[in-house]
Amino acid sequence: MATKNTFDYDLIVIGSGAGGSAAATIAARSGKRVAIIESDTFGGDSPNWSDVPTKALLHAAHLFDEARHGARFGLRSSTLGYNYPSIRTWKDLAVERTGAGGNRRYYETQGISTFTGAARFLAPNEISVNRRHLSASHFLIATGSSWTIPNIPGLDKVNYLTPRTILETIRPPKSLFIIGGGGIGVEIAQLMAIFGTKVYIAEKASRILPNQDSEVATLMERVLSEQKGITSLTECRVLSVVNDGITKRVTISRGGVEKSMKVDEVLVAAGRTPNVDIGLENATVKYTPKGIEVNDFLQTSAKHIFAAGDVLGHGSQTHTALLESRIAANNILHKNKVAVDYTATPSVIFTYPTIAQVGLSEDDCLKRDLPINKAVAPLNIIARSNTSDFRDGFVKMITDKKGVLLGATIVAPQAAEMIHELALAVKHDMTADDIAQTPHAFLSWSEAIRVAASKLS
């Protein structure tokens, strides 16, 4: 480290989202001179325009959907309605309560200098922001990622939506064509369909949710179609999008057949691109359009510059970016560096039923030629499925040949909560037998975990 006052700051963090915020706070509390730079709204993507507002809307949608179908429990609810502006007000309240959105004041109260603007490296230890030059002995790049706009003829000429802008629509569109059938595309499809939108999901892979096990896609395609009338168009190429009066005409190709459809709105949710256009070459930081390259300690090719979160290009969830931010802070502040351990990081898609996964998937194991055993326990074999009248879901567990848990997937109403038992098991090399021998409460959804484990023990 250079002598104390050669540079303006000990650490400059570029990006105030999950990848940057934890490190900035930790360094400031350790007495370091810290600056944080944000080109958009403080707090970044998660609290402002993705996780928090989306989950707040999904919670309201699920409540409405459950109540509407209450006749089977003897509830008279078929005349239930909703007021979408009021639902949006609820979403805004949830964002405000979380406190992480637009939280510039928070950093200032921690003694962190804040700057709004786009940062660019001028040299390995110097950046510019709004024509000001700032220098630091260390940097953390946490610029995140943006929605990838696919190269589809005509798309640039129409007003399309993204998962960020659809949150601000005045009312759900009558019909919606979603380009991209990953987790966020499917969450939004279900959200809009509950409020009456006719939804099409176009996915170029052979199944929606292509990063999940095949059982997940099979189940969710059926649930989305039967319960919500959502059409999944897999192995689908979007050829063009054009304005057609007040609607939009989308032309697709599936199985060699071209087809056109008219929809009110088009939503682009086809993956994200890391934000790497910040003059990295001036700082000798190696990167590709797929993200910044880092070692196990999150150091870039310039050892005093670290990177965390979506800018690394592995499409992680918010809790992974926070983990990386904490590790980066440790490695900037201390000589004994720590490697990031992603082993037992759960991922969750907040559809209904919820999809949660931890450890290796079956596809991961196949790619690595790992000999495995697997078991699936459908939810309908446990008593809770009767008392809640819900049968669409399962627990799938994968072990090595010695019975040690390698990974698991849960599709269930409470999957986001249930997955942590299996995350703990993956982290500590527990066996299916260890899980099967642990008593699981009668009439909890978690009984399905015990059943799946006992099939493998």
Do 136 and 159 lie in one domain? The reply is: no
Q: Encoding tokens for residue 206? A: 């052979």
Radius of gyration of the chain (CA): 24
DSSP strand pairing (305-307 vs 132-141): parallel
The three-class DSSP label of residue 401 is coil
Same domain, 216 and 363: no
- Per-state percent for the chain, helix, strand, coil, to nearest 5: 35, 25, 40
pLDDT above 70 for 5: no
Q: What is the pLDDT of residues 362-398, one digit of tens each?
A: 999 999 999 999 999 999 999 999 999 999 999 999 9
Residue 4 above 90 pLDDT?
A: no
Cα(323)–Cα(45) distance, rounded to whole angstroms? 16
Q: What is the pLDDT of residue 2?
A: 45
List, in sequence order, every residue forming a beta bridge with 452; answer none if it has no partner: none
CATH number at residue 399: 3.30.390.30
**188/283 same-domain check:** no
Same structural domain, 443 and 356: yes
Instruction: Calculate mean pLDDT across residues 410-431.
Output: 98
Name the domain boundary from 270, 285, 315: 270
Q: What is the pTM of this model?
A: 0.95
Residue 428 maps to a domain: yes
**Nearest Cα to 281, choosing from 117, 118, 123, 119?**
123
Query: What is the band of 1 on the pLDDT scale with cuts at 50, 70, 90?
Result: very low
Provide the residue range defining the domain that includes 205: 155-270
Residues near 31 by beta carbon (within 8 Å), at least 6 away in sequence: none
Looking at the structure, tell me whether residues 159 and 266 fall in a common domain.
yes
Please give the Cα distance from 401 to 398 (Å, whole number): 10
What's the mean pLDDT in 271-283?
96
Residue 1 belongs to some domain of the structure: no
Exposed, middle or buried, 124 (CB in 10 Å: 0-12/13-18/19+)?
A: middle
Same domain, 167 and 215: yes
Say whether both 80 and 225 belong to one domain.
no
Is the pLDDT assigned to residue 116 strictly greater than 70?
A: yes
Give phi and psi for 221, each to the nearest 5.
-60, -45
Q: Which residues contact 369 (CB under 8 A, 6 or more apart)?
A: none
Side-by-side strand order, sheet with 372-378: 347-349, 354-359, 405-412, 394-400, 372-378
Please say if the pLDDT value at position 162 is more than 80.
yes
Residue 440, SS3 per DSSP? coil
Residue 328 counted as domain residue: yes
Tens digits of residue pLDDT in 55-97: 999 999 999 999 999 999 999 987 899 999 999 999 999 999 9
Sign of CA dihedral 149, 151, 154, 157: positive
Structure tokens at 126: 């110097």
Give yes or no for residue 339 having a pLDDT over 50: yes
Q: How many whole angstroms separate alpha carbon 55 and alpha carbon 386?
A: 27
Per-residue pLDDT tens digits for 91-105: 999 999 998 888 999
- Cα–Cα distance measured from residue 64 to residue 52, given in angstroms and rounded to the nearest whole number: 19
Band of residue 33 on the pLDDT scale cut at 50, 70, 90: very high
Strand partners for 114: 36
Q: What proportion of the chain, given as a percentage, has pLDDT over 70?
A: 99
Q: Give a yes or no: residue 341 inside a domain.
A: no
Assess whether the previous peptide bond of 353 is cis (omega < 30° from 0). yes
Q: Which residue has the tokens 């609820």?
A: 90
pLDDT at 315: 79
Region 184-204: what's the mean pLDDT? 97
- Work out the mean pLDDT of the chain and round it to a whole number: 95
| Judgement on whether residues 207 and 292 belong to the same structural domain of the protein | no
Residue 311 has pLDDT above 80, yes or no: yes
CATH of the domain at 327: 3.50.50.60
Q: Which of 219, 242, 270 is the last residue of a domain?
A: 270
Asked if 363 and 325 sit in the same domain, the reply is no
Check: CB of residue 186 under 8 Å from CB of residue 349: yes
Q: Are residues 22 and 135 in the same domain?
A: yes
User: Which amino acid, 44?
Assistant: G
Residue where a domain stops, chosen among 234, 255, 270: 270
Regarding whether 450 and 355 lie in a shared domain, the answer is yes
When divided into structural domains, the chain yields a total of 4
321 shares a domain with 430: no
In a domain, 178, yes or no: yes
Residue 358: phi and psi, rounded to 5, are: -145, 150
Quick check: is 4 in a domain?
Answer: no
Distance of CA 370 to the CA centre of its chain: 27
Query: Residue 3 above 70 pLDDT?
Result: no
**Does 34 reside within a domain?**
yes
